[in-house]
Chain A
Amino acid sequence: MTDAPLTPREADDALAAEYVLGVLELAERSAAEARIKRDPAFAAMVRGWETRMEGLNDDFKPVSAPDLLPKIEARLFPAAPLAPARRGFGLTFGWLSGAALAAVLALATMATLTPPRPDLVATLATADNRLAYRITHFGAALQVTRVAGVPAVAGQVHELWIIAPNANPVSLGLLQDRPLVVTYPEPPAGFVFAVSVEPEGGSPTGQPTGPVILTAEVGQNT
């Protein structure tokens, strides 16, 4: 190896290695972390280094750990689930009075028949399109319709979240058989929708607890 300056690609790769090693100071480390989130090529370099260094993991000798499971589970699965999910955003079809339901249906119907049509806000789909939700905005409401796939298996439910930039996810409700309609302003580009798998009744914590299976950013790939 010569003393020639690193090429940009080498420099990126070295940065990925430095991140994985953990030698960076806090500010640089945070910057690298942010880059992992927005730059898939860099994220792949980081993964490459994690794999490259995995041979060193044998040097970490197991040390018996106390049984912290009860504490961890108490954190993840609080015993008394609150009525989750719809706090502050309420309004699934099930919650609507008959008249309001009719009004929403009328709006939805009009929307499909006459312009202006509902704006397509985002599509959440797996890569193979076996599960897909379509999110449109019309009037003052978001409507979320499953266009492919099946609801979660018994005992679980898909929960929809909206995430403003640099904010925590906020639940918009549970995605079940019927389309979900929630009053919500039209989300600007950069907002992210996510669907997580939650226990029946929705997340017990008000934040996603199960795996996030779908995400889509407003303004991209709709």
Chain B
Amino acid sequence: MTADDGGDGADTTAPRISLFAQDLAIPVKIRNVCRMDDPVAQLIAQCAAADRAAFRTLYRDTSAKLMGVLLRMLRERAEAEDALQEVYTRVWVRAGRYDPAKGRGMTWLIAIARNLAIDRLRARPEAHSDDGLDTVQDAAPRAETQLVARDEVRRVADCFDTLDPDKADAVRGAYLNGLSYLDLAARHAVPLNTMRTWLRRSLLKLKECLDQ
């Protein structure tokens, strides 16, 4: 079992019964709509109730996944570790804003980690963060080859297949490796504006497919 299983509930252990349901002081919104099939969401809700034990459990259950996100995007272990501390600080402080009705706990955590990584990448002085990426990307299995069981992932994979392979790679490279438009334009040897037009059209096409 890996940390990312935590986000999916169905294949993990039975949902925790948490204390927050009895805790009248804490956001009504979260009490009412918390998804019992999402243990990570429950832990976040408990963090929102200032439950430090839940915070420790959350760290134990999800830090490997978030470290994977940060290391892949930032590509430097020391910086990834520093970012990991910042991510969990944000998680604790923002836990009350997490709305389980609007998404899974793990998706929310990964969004926080990715946003922090992207902010740091964009703030780096050098324009390109593309060095050495080919090996990273080639070594990592593509999303669509790894997964069979999970509907939404298969759906993403199917929809990526409707894009030109170049454009699908660009979207994936941006999402997983934190590539900017500058990086992508250099990588695909096209002008920046062309890259942007391509990518925007591809994204809208992807949406059309995913939202069907």
Q: A29-B118, A127-B29 are in contact. Are A208 and B93 (CB under 8 A)?
A: yes
B140–A59 contact, CB under 8 A?
A: yes
List residues of chain A with CB within 8 A of the CB of B48.
197, 210-211
Q: Is B72 an interface residue (CB 8 A)?
A: yes
Task: Indicate if B16 sits at the interface (CB-CB under 8 A).
Answer: no
Residue of B nearest to A44 (CB): B102
Partner of A72, one of B2, B85, B178, B205: B85
Q: How far apart are the CA atoms of A76 and B85 in the complex, in Å?
A: 10
| In the complex, chain B residues whose CB is within 8 Å of the CB of A69 | 56, 59, 88
Number of A-B pairs, beta carbon distance below 8 Å: 206
B195 (CB) vs chain A CBs: closest residue: A23
Taken together as a complex, chains A and B put the C-alpha atoms of A42 and B182 apart, in Å, by 24
Pick the contact of A22: B50, B59, B178 (CB < 8 A).
B178
Contact call A10/B140, Cβ cutoff below 8 A: no
Interface size class of B (residues with CB under 8 A): 35 or more
* Stretch binding the partner chain, chosen from A78-86, A100-108, A149-157, A160-168: A149-157
In the complex, B186 has a CB within 8 A of chain A:
no
In whole Å, how far is A35's beta carbon from the nearest beta carbon of chain B? 14
Specify which chain B residues have a CB less than 8 angstroms from the CB of A156 in the assembled complex. Answer: 25, 50
- Measured between beta carbons, the chain B residues less than 8 angstroms from A18 are 199-200, 203
8 Å CB interface, B67-107 against A: 67-69, 71-72, 81, 84-85, 88-89, 92-97, 102-104, 106-107
- In the complex, A220 has a CB within 8 A of chain B: no
Query: In the complex, A57 Cα to B72 Cα: how many Å?
Result: 12
Complex Cα distance, B106 from A56, in Å, reads 12
Instruction: Say if the beta carbon of A25 comes within 8 Å of chain B.
Output: yes
**Counting CB contacts under 8 A, is B3 at the interface?**
yes
Given contacts A63-B64, A68-B84, contact A56 B172 (CB under 8 A): yes
Contact B102 A47 (CB under 8 A): yes
CA distance A60 to B73 in the complex (A): 10
* B155 within 8 Å of A (CB atoms): yes
User: Is A147 an interface position by the 8 A CB rule?
Assistant: no
* Nearest neighbor of A68 in chain B, beta-carbon distance: B85
For B188, list chain A residues within 8 Å (CB): none
CB distance B174 to A21 under 8 Å? yes
**Complex Cα gap A65–B174 (Å):** 24
Q: Which of B66, B147, B204, B211 has the most CB of A within 10 A?
A: B204
Which of B159-212 touch A at CB < 8 Å?
Answer: 171-172, 174-176, 178-182, 184, 199-201, 203-207, 210-211
Q: Is the CB of B179 within 8 A of A23?
A: yes
Question: In the complex, what residues of A have CB within 8 A of residue B84's CB?
Answer: 65, 68
**Contact partner of B204 among A13, A25, A57, A199, CB < 8 A?**
A13
CA distance A22 to B182 in the complex (A): 12
Point out the residues of chain A lying under 8 angstroms from B184, CB to CB.
23
CB-CB under 8 A from B59, the residues of chain A are 68-69, 72
24 inter-chain pairs at a CB distance below 8 angstroms, sorted by A residue, are A14-B200, A23-B180, A29-B118, A51-B103, A51-B107, A52-B210, A52-B211, A53-B175, A55-B143, A55-B156, A57-B106, A58-B143, A58-B153, A59-B143, A60-B4, A60-B69, A65-B63, A65-B67, A150-B25, A197-B25, A197-B96, A210-B48, A213-B26, A213-B96
